[in-house]
Amino acid sequence: MKGAEAVVLETEFLGRKMLKKERRKKGYRIKELDKRIREGRTRREARLLHKAKKGGVSCPVVYEVGKDYIVMSRMGGKKPEENGEEMEKAGKLLAKLHSAGILHGDFTPYNLLVEKGELHAIDFGLGSFSRKTEGRADDMLTMLRAIKSGEAFIAGYREFPEAEQVIKKVGEIENRARYR
């Protein structure tokens, strides 16, 4: 699978099927800058996955980190349905990420997988470490714009102790966008 930032390949590691996410060189960037960007993003994503896992989020386990690649466990499942139960779980999952000080950066149904009733988060490539309300609101807004109805998602997110501040900030961001 090829994305804008990386290529994800199936591989074998320690006798088990895994995924290898490789950040490829960008020919349009200055070589030294490109190297620093790829290495920094790779290290950051590995740290985000590790901290998310420690925070109780179901996400890939990191087995190896190279300068521009991560070997991680495969997550099975399918994209979640936009029903109340699965969107509420998505809200709870985002609450766990935010409680751990993690912003996903691209929190949409396409970066979630459901398997046997459990919701998994994937692709932390645009993520960061932050406890800023604005960043948390951006994560919420990304999901709310990607789904038809956000009621169940918001209900699940309310498990986050600072949820009301974040929800208020979502409204402020939406209002700023309306009057541009």
For residues 143 and 157, is the Cβ–Cβ distance under 8 A?
Answer: no
The amino acid present at 165, given as its one-letter code, is Q
Q: Give the chain's length.
A: 180
Give pLDDT, residue 6: 86
- Please list the pLDDT of the chain residue by residue as tens digits (180 residues): 776 678 999 999 989 999 999 999 988 999 999 999 999 999 999 999 999 999 999 999 999 999 999 999 999 899 999 889 999 999 999 999 999 999 999 999 999 999 999 999 999 999 999 999 999 999 999 999 999 989 999 999 999 999 999 999 999 999 987 655
pLDDT at 111 (0 to 100): 96
Asked if 67 contacts 23 with a C-beta cutoff of 8 angstroms, the reply is: no
pLDDT at 179: 57
Q: List the domains of the chain with CATH numbers.
A: 7-73 (3.30.200.20), 84-178 (1.10.510.10)
Instruction: Using CB atoms within 10 Å of the CB of residue 136, give its burial: 0 to 12 exposed, 13 to 18 middle, 19+ buried.
Output: buried
Q: Which of 106, 114, 110 is nearest to 139 (CA)?
A: 106
Task: Please identify every residue annotated as catalytic.
Answer: 106
Q: Which residue has the tokens 């998602």?
A: 153
**Pairing state of beta strands 112-115 and 118-121?**
antiparallel
Which helix (H) or strand (E) covers residue 72, if one does? strand 69-73
Answer whether 116's CB lies under 8 Å from 124's CB.
no
Contacts of residue 152, Cβ cutoff 8 Å, sequence gap at least 6: 83, 84, 85, 87, 88, 91
pLDDT tens sequence across 43-76: 999 999 999 999 999 999 999 999 999 999 999 8
How far apart, in Å, do the first and last CA atoms of the chain sit? 37
* pLDDT at res. 5: 79
Helices (H), 64-162: 84-99, 133-146, 151-157
**Distance from C-alpha of 75 to C-alpha of 157, rounded to nearest angstrom:** 23
Rg of the chain over Cα atoms, rounded to whole angstroms, equals 17
